[in-house]
Amino acid sequence: MQKITPFLWFDGNIQEIMGFYTSIFPNSQIVGTPPRLMLEGQELILFNGGPHYKPTPAFSLFVNCETQIEIDDLWEKLLSGGGMPNRCGWLQDKYGLSWQLVPPQLGTWLQDKNPTIAKRVMDAMLQMNKLEIAVLEKAFRGE
């Protein structure tokens, strides 16, 4: 059992929201009572607290995406129904929750010991909404 579990406040139908997320992530399910959401092994508690608070980009779920196909697929599905794209691999879904869809090698590229390489990758990333692995890799290699 996780010791720390994100507790997310929503103003809406929690069952609908959970259904949306479980339809997107193949390794997901609704478990327990009260119901909790398991997404790719990460437990989340979703609470229907009413209109008092709304999700903000100050909290986001970071998803390591191994391939461009995975980024493209999740990007499209999470934006469906009224989500909003943002810069540098971030998006906000129709329920207001922010997500980061990121290839695992990006952190290594951005922290390269050669500041010229790291800057090239950062500059390329800053030009994107949805991250394009091939473009980032070319920036890393200096092509």
The CB density around residue 6, as the number of other CB atoms within 10 Å, is: 13
Greatest CA separation for the chain: 53
Integer Cα distance of 33 and 57 in angstroms: 28
Asked if the model's pLDDT at residue 67 lies above 70, the reply is yes
Write down the pTM of the prediction. 0.93
Q: How confident is the model at residue 34 (pLDDT cuts 50, 70, 90)?
A: confident
Q: Supply the angle between the helices 14-24 and 68-79 in degrees, to the nearest 10.
A: 160
pLDDT digits (tens, 9 = 90+) for 71-121: 999 999 999 999 999 999 999 999 999 999 999 999 999 999 999 999 999
List, in order of start, the domains of the chain with CATH numbers: 1-51 (3.10.180.10), 55-143 (3.10.180.10)
Q: Is 81 exposed, middle or buried (0-12, 13-18, 19+ CB in 10 A)?
A: exposed
